[in-house]
């Protein structure tokens, strides 16, 4: 029996992302980790929702993304997928699930796709994880790449400084970007690199290049939801634009609630059965 629904919003697919790039339409991407926020973001018209391992930072309070486990990513992925009707949903593969063994990488990717129903997985790195990328793609699982500042390698970098400022690292990034496209990745995120370099990569590739701290010459932009909504008050990198100050609004609302409870103003008669 057909389940086609003419009133349902048109689902964003990996093919549609390529079409958007071809016609010059910028791609919007934002993180989400739970049902309620994913529902709001999807209904607002977001193109891509990333179930990021940044949940380690903003949801669990860890300093890095490294502690996230596969089971935790699947939990967040399931929560988001229950809410989303339109956006393409991408789930990060957490640290340790694809770097050392391509068979383990495939098994991890299969678990994510089967258990969450997500549309795509995201991996950090280029040539060094080529075998894992190829094996996952050979199973028909779409991959979004991630180059530049790759947070899972933060201990190697020693910090969150801009990457690929030196010629050798810039050339490696360009080479890796082309490799990801040649292998069959559907898109690539480039994080915190010089704008001119990111623009060059976007112009050379036919797949979408989505930037975070990579300037406006790429095919789309991604931010962490908590950052752009002003929930993470202490985080203010140069590339971040805040669209709300929810940190203050939430704090004030909670204080107001406390005052109303203490003063017996809440609940009033109209709020009782």
Q: How far apart are CA 55 and CA 68, in angstroms?
A: 8
Structural domains for the chain: 14-242 (3.20.20.60), 245-273 (no CATH)
CB 242 within 8 A of CB 229: yes
- Residues facing residue 209 across a β-bridge: 188
Q: Give the Cα separation of 13 and 171 in Å (integer).
A: 30
- Rounded to the nearest integer, the mean pLDDT of the chain is 96
Query: Quick one: pLDDT at residue 153?
Result: 95
> Any catalytic annotation for residue 191?
yes
pLDDT at 182 (0 to 100): 99
Q: H/E element holding 89?
A: strand 88-92
Separation of alpha carbons 76 and 45, rounded Å: 20
What does the pLDDT look like over 177-227, one tens digit per residue?
Answer: 999 999 999 999 999 999 999 999 999 999 999 999 999 999 999 999 999
Task: For the chain, report the end-to-end CA distance as a whole number of angstroms.
Answer: 45
In 3-state terms, what secondary structure has residue 12?
coil
Positive or negative: CA dihedral 80, 110, 69, 234? negative
pLDDT tops 60 at residue 2: no
Active-site hit among 25, 167, 191, 249: 191
Two tokens, residue 149: 């500042």
Question: Considering the entire predicted model, what is its pTM?
Answer: 0.95
């Amino acid at each position: 029996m057909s389940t086609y629904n003419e009133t349902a919003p048109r689902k964003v697919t990996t093919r549609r992302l390529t079409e958007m790039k071809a016609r010059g339409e910028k791609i919007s991407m934002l993180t989400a980790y739970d049902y309620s926020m994913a529902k709001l973001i999807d209904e607002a018209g977001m193109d891509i929702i990333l179930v990021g391992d940044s949940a380690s930072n903003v949801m669990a309070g860890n300093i890095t993304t490294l502690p996230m486990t596969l089971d935790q990513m699947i939990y967040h992925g399931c929560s988001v997928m229950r809410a989303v009707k339109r956006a393409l949903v991408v789930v990060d593969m957490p640290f340790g699930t694809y770097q050392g063994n391509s068979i383990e990488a495939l098994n991890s990717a299969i678990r994510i796709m089967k258990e969450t129903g997500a549309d795509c997985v995201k991996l950090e790195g280029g040539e060094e994880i080529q075998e894992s990328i190829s094996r996952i793609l050979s199973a028909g699982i779409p991959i979004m790449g991630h180059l530049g500042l790759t947070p899972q390698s933060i201990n190697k970098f020693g910090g969150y400084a801009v990457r690929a400022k030196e010629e050798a690292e810039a050339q490696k990034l360009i080479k890796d970007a082309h490799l990801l496209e040649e292998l069959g990745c559907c898109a690539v995120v480039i994080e915190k690199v010089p704008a001119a370099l990111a623009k060059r990569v976007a112009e050379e590739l036919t797949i979408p290049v989505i930037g975070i701290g990579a300037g406006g010459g790429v095919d789309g932009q991604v931010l962490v939801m908590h950052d752009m909504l002003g929930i993470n008050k202490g985080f203010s990198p140069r590339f971040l634009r805040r669209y709300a100050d929810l940190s203050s609004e939430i704090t004030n609302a909670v204080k107001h609630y406390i005052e109303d409870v203490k003063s017996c103003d809440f609940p009033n008669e109209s709020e009782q059965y």
